[in-house]
Amino acid sequence: MDEPEHQHQPDQPDLPGEPEQPERQEGVGTPDAFERLWTPHRMAYILGENKPSGDGPRDGCPFCDIPHRSDEDGLVVTRGKVTFVVLNLYPYNPGHLMVCPYRHVADYTELTDEETDEVALLTKQAMRAVRTASGAQGFNIGLNQGPVAGAGIAAHLHQHIVPRWAGDTNFMPVVGGTKVLPVLLRDTRALLARAWPTD
């Protein structure tokens, strides 16, 4: 049987123009049919990088810091009067957005009427922008209130808007603990900002 012209070897660099090869996990036991991808960026989140040191607005809260950055640096898609929309740095799916009040507030019941109204308005606009930009077929929308409910940053309320597509859950997140995102966050931010409705 003829050998292919180039077989990827772990100690051999890829040829120019070749797709990046996944990391292979060697170890005890019989190898299965899955190749593993290494995603070190997820470890930063697991270990607590970018999480506040306390519950106050001056304790390193990223949602208090982001509005002081440029849209590109903060991954801000749009800014309202009392809330803003930002891409999730550790997304479940491409285009995963969060609507956050500027004010450091932990609980939905503590939002002012103006904040509540703008969270709802920007959520609707976010859905329209994501549909326009990517053809999302559905959404998961919600708030995780408190650490026991799954809030990674419980001290500053943020509503998740996660776009969904048929077949977007496969063996990668279930077996490999990895989510493959086909687009860079900055490119996604620019795409969604251009698609944002003006009404």
* Mean pLDDT of the chain, nearest integer: 76
Q: What is the pLDDT of residue 11?
A: 46
Which of the residue ranges 29-33, 77-81, 133-137 has the most confident prediction, judged by mean pLDDT?
A: 77-81
Q: Which amino acids are annotated as binding site for substrate, given as ranges?
A: 88, 160
Q: Which amino acids are annotated as binding site, given as ranges?
A: 88, 160
Q: What is the pLDDT of residue 106?
A: 94
Q: How confident is the model over 15-25, as pLDDT tens digits?
A: 445 445 444 44
Measured N-to-C along each axis, helices 113-134 and 185-195 cross at an angle, to the nearest 10 degrees, of 100
Specify the CATH superfamily of domain 55-195.
HIT-like (3.30.428.10)
| Residue ranges of E strands in the chain | 76-79, 83-87, 97-101, 138-143, 159-164
Active site residue 158: yes
Q: How confident is the model over 39-98, as pLDDT tens digits?
A: 445 555 556 665 665 666 567 799 999 999 999 999 999 999 999 999 998 887 889 999
- Domains of the chain, by residue range, sit at 55-195
Of residues 178 and 135, more confidently modeled? 135
Q: CA-to-CA distance for 8 and 135, rounded, in angstroms?
A: 35
- The catalytically annotated residue of 96, 104, 156, 158 is 158
Q: CA-to-CA distance for 82 and 126, rounded, in angstroms?
A: 16
Which conformational region is residue 149 in: left (phi greater than 0), alpha (psi within -120 to 50 degrees), or beta? Answer: alpha
